Amino acid sequence: MTAAVHLRPRLTTTTAARVLRQLRHDHRTVAMLLVLPSLLLGLLHLLWADLPAAPGQPGTFDRVGLTMLGVFPFVVMFLVTSIAMLRERTSGTLERLLTTPLSRLDLLLGYGLAFGLAAGLQAAVTVTVATTLYDLDVAGPVWLVGLIAVVDAVLGVALGLLASAFARSEFQAVQLMPVVVLPQFFLCGLLVPREQMDGWLQAVSDALPLTYAVQALQEVGRSPEATGTMWTDVGVVAGAAVLALALAAATLRRRTD
Amino acid sequence: MDAVTVTDLVVDRGRRRVLPGVGFTVPAGQVTGLLGPSGSGKSTLIRAIVGVQRVRSGTVEVLGHPAGSPALRDRVGYVTQAPSVYADLTVRENARYFAALYGRGAREADAAVADVGLASAAGQLVGDLSGGQRGRASLACALVGDPEVLVLDEPTVGLDPVLRVELWERFHALARAGTTLVVSSHVMDEAARCDRLLLLREGALLADTTPARLRADGRSEDLEEAFLNVVRAREAVAS
């Protein structure tokens, strides 16, 4: 693909810096990105705080809260990215960028890098608040939770970039969120353990990347050290993100009607 | 030497044929005006020249390369009809971003901002500017790459007369320095400011001429009237 041939790392970082600069001018969005996941997690904490856990099992908040640390960045970054990319399209800046030396992959990687960094900051805040204020119990190292959250966010960015190709308006883009996110959330093993699902539902669940993100977080929650399963899961999520980015680059047309 | 060569260009948008087979050349180092009413196919033609328009058949060559090819990306500047800059960045930040894409530095970016008369507004968010200022910010982001071919889609719409004159002076200064400019407009009084004229109507090229020749052919000093006379003469011949 020509996009790959003309890849220029400097233009990728320049574009990421530009996206972050745009974000920085929008103080309220930055505040929401950093604080909202912690507040929502606090609500879950209050919801389950007084509920006794089954003997030998992790408490409900420990189980669900940990999973949400992976789900929040995925959902938020999907939404933010699909809207940001749609704005590029509707404002004409995308058309202009496509006439400059910036390649399509440079542009998409720039977005991935920018929102990946934003997600890192978000994860740092949320994980810190969760483990200190809400006493979230994690057996494994906390930095691994942060890493998985960032990889989830990058997956959200990649799918958001891809989804924006199928949305002509903000109304459509926003509605793609439940389409992409909810089935993955329902089938990821949080609501019903994957072993108890119908065979075909389990097969669908196997094909959805969020399943692996949740499984990776559960591994970190259970074992004091990083497990092979966890790394495989992280690899699958990262692979899905790369695939989605490649598809997004392929669906991003230089020439349009 | 010709900077742009368009041959038998056919473009459909949806089911509608917007350009039914247009051909012309644009000489280098001149200001070529693409004049025609709204809906005549000017923007489509401009998009084809910068290589973002899907074409059905025909070819567009710019500086000897197919339009939109990688070799042209830092040699052709494009200013879209609606200002295409980031509303949530300042004028300076916009110019510096596009400068970086063209491999230029902050100094060139600041110079381009000053060139369009926005030096005093450089620190303002583009979203807070007036429509005319936004258009100039958009122009600065194309000038910053110092392109050999500058393609502008209705760059003077909504500008006050003083600014419009200044912009045209800038265009001619660029042309004198060797830049090729293609400027679209639907206002006939801007035709007088061009070195060359391409008159477009309903996707067809009515005339490939100069202001002086159009006045002679249309038997009027007023370019708008001359244009009308040419159209009427064509239609009389056609029927």
**Within a 13 Å sphere around the CA of B85, how many CA atoms are in the beta-carbon half?**
34
Is residue A142's pLDDT more than 50? yes
Question: Which of A99, A102, A256 is facing B78, going by the closest CB pair?
Answer: A99
Best residue in B12, B93, B101, B125 for a mutation probing chain A (most A CBs within 10 Å): B101
Label the pairing between strands B149-153 and B57-62. Answer: unpaired
Question: Which of A15, A96, A256 is facing B78, going by the closest CB pair?
Answer: A96
Q: What is the largest CA-CA distance in chain A?
A: 63
Contact predicate B60/B49, CB 8 Å? yes
**What domain range is A93 assigned to?**
2-48+57-251
Is residue A4's pLDDT more than 50? no
* B29-47 residue pLDDT tens: 999 999 988 889 999 999 9
Contact predicate A221/A140, CB 8 Å? yes
Contact predicate B211/B194, CB 8 Å? yes
For residues A70 and A153, give the distance between their C-alpha atoms in angstroms, rounded to a whole number.
Answer: 8
CA distance B168 to chain A (A): 22
Tokens of B98: 């596009």
**A139 inside domain:** yes
Cβ distance A255 to B52 less than 8 Å, yes or no, reads: yes
Mean pLDDT, rounded, of chain A: 91
Domain count, chain A: 1
For residues A52 and B38, give the distance between their C-alpha atoms in angstroms, rounded to a whole number.
Answer: 71
Cβ distance B89 to A2 less than 8 Å, yes or no, reads: no
**A185 inside domain:** yes
**A105 inside domain:** yes
Beta pairing partners, B69: none
- Label residue B63 left, alpha or beta by phi (over 0 means left) and psi (-120 to 50 means alpha): left
Least confident of A164-173, A219-228, B16-25: A164-173
**A199 inside domain:** yes
**A102 inside domain:** yes
Question: DSSP string of chain B?
Answer: -EEEEEEEEEEEETTEEEEEEEEEEEETTSEEEEE--TTSSHHHHHHHHHT-B--SEEEEEETTEETT-GGGTTTEEEE-SS--S-TTSBHHHHHHHHHHHTT--HHHHHHHHHHTT-GGGTTSBGGGS-HHHHHHHHHHHHHTT--SEEEEESTTTT--HHHHHHHHHHHHHHHHTT-EEEEEES-GGGGGG-SEEEEEETTEEEEEE-HHHHHHHTT-SSHHHHHHHHHHHHHHHH-
Q: At how many degrees (to 10) do helices B91-101 and B106-115 cross?
A: 130
| Residues of chain B with a CB closer than 8 angstroms to some CB in chain A | 12-14, 47, 50-55, 68, 70, 73-74, 76, 78, 80, 82-89, 93, 97-98, 100-103, 125, 141, 145
**A256 inside domain:** no
Task: Provide, as residue numbers in chain A, all residues whose Cβ is less than 8 Å from the Cβ of B83.
Answer: 92
Helix then strand count (H, E) for chain A reads: 11, 0
Cβ distance B73 to A99 less than 8 Å, yes or no, reads: yes
Cβ distance A26 to B70 less than 8 Å, yes or no, reads: no
**What is the average per-residue pLDDT within A204-208?**
95
Q: Which residue of A has its CA nearest to B147?
A: A100
- B179: which residues sit within 8 A by CB, 6+ positions away? B29, B147, B148, B149, B150
Is residue A8's pLDDT more than 90? no
Q: Domain residues of chain B, as ranges?
A: 85-146
Eight-state DSSP code of residue A256 = B
- What is the value of pTM for the model shown? 0.90
Least confident of A30-34, A104-108, B159-163: B159-163
Contact predicate A99/A255, CB 8 Å? no
**What is the average per-residue pLDDT within A119-146?**
93
Q: How many Cβ pairs within 8 Å bridge chains A and B?
A: 81
**A233 inside domain:** yes
Task: Provide, as residue numbers in chain B, all residues whose Cβ is less than 8 Å from the Cβ of A21.
Answer: 89, 93
- B117: which residues sit within 8 A by CB, 6+ positions away? B136, B163, B166
Question: Which of A14, A98, A99 is facing B97, going by the closest CB pair?
Answer: A14
For residues B50 and B90, give the distance between their C-alpha atoms in angstroms, rounded to a whole number.
Answer: 26
Contact predicate B4/B149, CB 8 Å? yes
Q: Which residue of A has its CA nearest to B52?
A: A255
Could you count the other beta carbons within 10 Å of the beta carbon of residue B139?
24
Name the residue among A86, A81, A89, A87 with its Cα closest to residue A119: A81
pLDDT level of residue A55 (50, 70, 90 thresholds): confident
User: Residue B52: its pLDDT value, please?
Assistant: 95
Contact predicate B87/B125, CB 8 Å? yes
**What is the average per-residue pLDDT within B125-143?**
93
- A37: which residues sit within 8 A by CB, 6+ positions away? A68, A69, A72, A73, A76, A122, A125, A126
| Residues of chain A with a CB closer than 8 angstroms to some CB in chain B | 2, 6, 10-11, 14-15, 18, 21-22, 25-26, 91-93, 95-102, 253-257
Task: Provide, as residue numbers in chain B, all residues whose Cβ is less than 8 Å from the Cβ of A2.
Answer: 70
Q: Which residue of A has its CA nearest to B93?
A: A18
Q: At how many degrees (to 10) do helices A60-91 and A27-48 cross?
A: 160
Cβ distance A25 to B100 less than 8 Å, yes or no, reads: no
Best residue in A26, A96, A97 for a mutation probing chain B (most B CBs within 10 Å): A96
For residues A124 and A150, give the distance between their C-alpha atoms in angstroms, rounded to a whole number.
Answer: 10
For residues A223 and A240, give the distance between their C-alpha atoms in angstroms, rounded to a whole number.
Answer: 25
Task: Provide, as residue numbers in chain A, all residues whose Cβ is less than 8 Å from the Cβ of B51.
Answer: 99, 254-255
**A113 inside domain:** yes
Task: Provide, as residue numbers in chain A, all residues whose Cβ is less than 8 Å from the Cβ of B14.
Answer: 257
Task: Provide, as residue numbers in chain B, all residues whose Cβ is less than 8 Å from the Cβ of A22.
Answer: 86, 88-89
**b/e map of B40-51 (b: 16 or more CB within 10 Å)?**
bbbbbbbbbbbb
- What was the ipTM of the complex prediction? 0.91
Better pLDDT: A3 or B155: B155
Is residue A230's pLDDT more than 70? yes
For residues B2 and A13, give the distance between their C-alpha atoms in angstroms, rounded to a whole number.
Answer: 37
Question: How many residues are there in chain A?
Answer: 257
Q: Which residue of B has its CA nearest to A96?
A: B78
Question: Which of A15, A22, A256 is facing B89, going by the closest CB pair?
Answer: A22
For residues A68 and A37, give the distance between their C-alpha atoms in angstroms, rounded to a whole number.
Answer: 9
Cβ distance A91 to B100 less than 8 Å, yes or no, reads: no
Q: Which residue of B has its CA nearest to A107?
A: B101
User: Residue A6: its pLDDT value, please?
Assistant: 60
